[in-house]
Structure 1
Amino acid sequence: MPMPPSLRELQRAFGAALVEGDGDALAPWIAARGIDPAARLRIYRHANLAIHVEALATSFPATVRLLGEDCFDGLATRHAAWIGSASGNLQAYGADLPGFLVAQPELTAHAWVAEVARLEWLRQEVALAASGDVADPFALVLALAAATNAAVRLQPHLRLCSSAVPVLGLWRYAMDLAPAVAPNGAGEHVLLWRAGDGVAMRAVDSALASFVRALLAGERLAAAWANASGTAPQELLAPLLEHGLIAAVVNASEETSA
């Protein structure tokens, strides 16, 4: 009789059986107790897949509605079976779903669905991100006037989604918040941030999107303004100040001392 595997080997074999469906190496070491070992492993595998499919459905409700429950369930099951989760935290599961949807042949003519999924994952990131201190807006205005080439620290929950399709309109339609939108309509830039217990979204023009993108990349104010096609600084800063999305303004001397 072969030597029994170690606990570590059993755990690895069990994980492989859940993810890959191959339980041959593990089956001899599973007590039947009225259920065939292979059948017992299938029960665990199906339950594991169902948990992951449900997690995706929770994070991508608009995508579910756009595809239909049956179609989404099939694609989500395929994702869970082929790729699975690299983390034990199901809240982190789904970051790669938009890219996965792009690669599915049955969605070739519906690439906009993946764009909505990308927006939904950014909503998930916003909901889970930390919050920075909300600086006094008057103090920020004074600091910005005194140091036009300062570094601006944005709230860590702020995100930007730039899409070639009307992604916010499609999301709103899917969630029964707006009339139908043509998927081949004009693209949109969308700011996302946490507002209270929810996630706020706002479509913005390309100048503000370029400005925010530059700040998120660590550019200083002067460089960020240069990306904004000549739009007045106050027009770019106003919506960020209005929603408390600027955490701090740091001039060069403060950065050096820090």
Structure 2
Amino acid sequence: MPMPPSLHELQRAFGAALVGGDGEPLAPWIAARGIEPAARLRIYRHANLAIHVEALATSFPATLRLLGEACFDGVATRHAAWIGSTSGNLQAYGADFPGFLAAQPELAAYAWVAEVARLEWLRQETALAAPGSLADPLALVLALAAAIDPVVRLQPHLRVCSSTVPVLGLWRYAMESGRTVAPDGSPEHVLLWRAPEGIAMRAVGPALADFAGALLAGERLAAACARAPATAPQELLARLLEHGLIAAISPATEDASA
């Protein structure tokens, strides 16, 4: 009789059976107890897939509504079976789901669905991001006036979504009752942040989206302003200050990641 596998080997084989469906190497070491080992593994595998599909449905409710339950369940099950989660925390599961949707041949004519899913994952990131300190607006203005090409640090929960489709309009069309007319096909830029009442989403112009994205990427003020040359820096900063999205302003000698 062969030597029994170690606990580590059993755990790896069990994980492989859940993801890949091949439980044959593990079967000799599973007590039947009224259920064949292969059937017992199928129960665990189906339960594992169902948990992952439910996690995707929770994170992507608008995508589910746009695709319909049957289609969403099929593509989510495929994602769970082929890719699955690399983390024990299911809140982190789904970051690659928008890209997975975009790669599915049957959804090629519905590329906008993947864009809505991308917006929904940014909502997830916003909800889970670390809280930021709310700086005094007057202190920010004085710091901005005193510094030369400062580092403007934005709230860590702020996200920017720039899309070639009306992504926020589509999300609202799917999620808000009473909307019976889909938006037109115009591109849309969206700022997302965590507000007291929940996740705030605001459609903005491309200048503000590019400016905020540059600051989030760690660029200094002058470089970020260069991305929106047709808009005054004061106007761009005022829009961010309006919603409390600027956390701090530091002299250019300080590291932007500090």
Indicate whether the TM-score tops 0.5: yes
TM-score (norm 1): 0.96
Which amino acid is 1:190 matched to?
V
Contact 2:119 2:161 in 1 (8 A): yes
Aligned-residue identity in percent: 79
Deviation at 1:224, TM superposition (A): 1.2
Which runs of 5 or more structure 1 residues have no equivalent in the other structure? Answer: none
SS in 1 for 2:162: strand
The match for 1:45 is 45
Amino acid at match of 1:126: T
Report if the CA contact (8 A) 2:20-2:81 is conserved: yes
| Structure 2 counterpart of 1:61 | 61
Runs of 4+ in 1 over 3 A off after TM superposition: 253-256
1:88-127 deviation line (CA, Å, top 9, x unaligned): 1100000000000011011000000000000000000000
Aligned residue number for residue 238 of structure 2: 238
Q: CA deviation at 1:197?
A: 5.4
RMSD after superposition: 1.5
1:117-132 equivalence runs, <5 A: 117-132=117-132
Q: Secondary structure at the match of 2:201?
A: strand
Pairwise CA distance, 1:221:
1.0
- Look up the equivalent residue of 2:57 and give its one-letter code: A
C-alpha distance in 2 between matches for 1:122 and 1:158: 9
| Alignment coverage as a number of residue pairs | 256
Structure-2 change in CA distance of 1:65 and 1:140 (3 Å):
same
User: What amino acid sits opposite 2:189 in the alignment?
Assistant: H
Q: Paired residue for 2:163? A: 163
Which stretches in structure 2 are left out of the alignment for 5+ residues? none
Deviation at 1:147? 2.0
Q: What is the distance in 1 between the residues matched to 2:95 and 2:128? A: 13
Deviation of 1:235 after TM superposition, in Å, equals: 1.3
In structure 1, C-alpha distance between the alignment counterparts of 2:255 and 2:96, rounded to whole Å: 35
Equivalent pair of 1:148/1:222 in contact (CA under 8 Å)? no
Q: Which moved more, 1:214-223 or 1:23-32?
A: 214-223
1:180 aligns with 2:181: yes
Q: Which residue of 1 aligns with 2:189?
A: 189
Q: Deviations over 1:132-168 (max 9, x none)?
A: 1110001111111222510001111000000000000
- The separation in 1 between residues aligned to 2:65 and 2:140, in whole angstroms, is 42
Matching of residue 11 in structure 1 with residue 17 in structure 2: no
**Residues 17 and 41 in structure 1, CA contact (< 8 A), matched pair in contact too:** yes
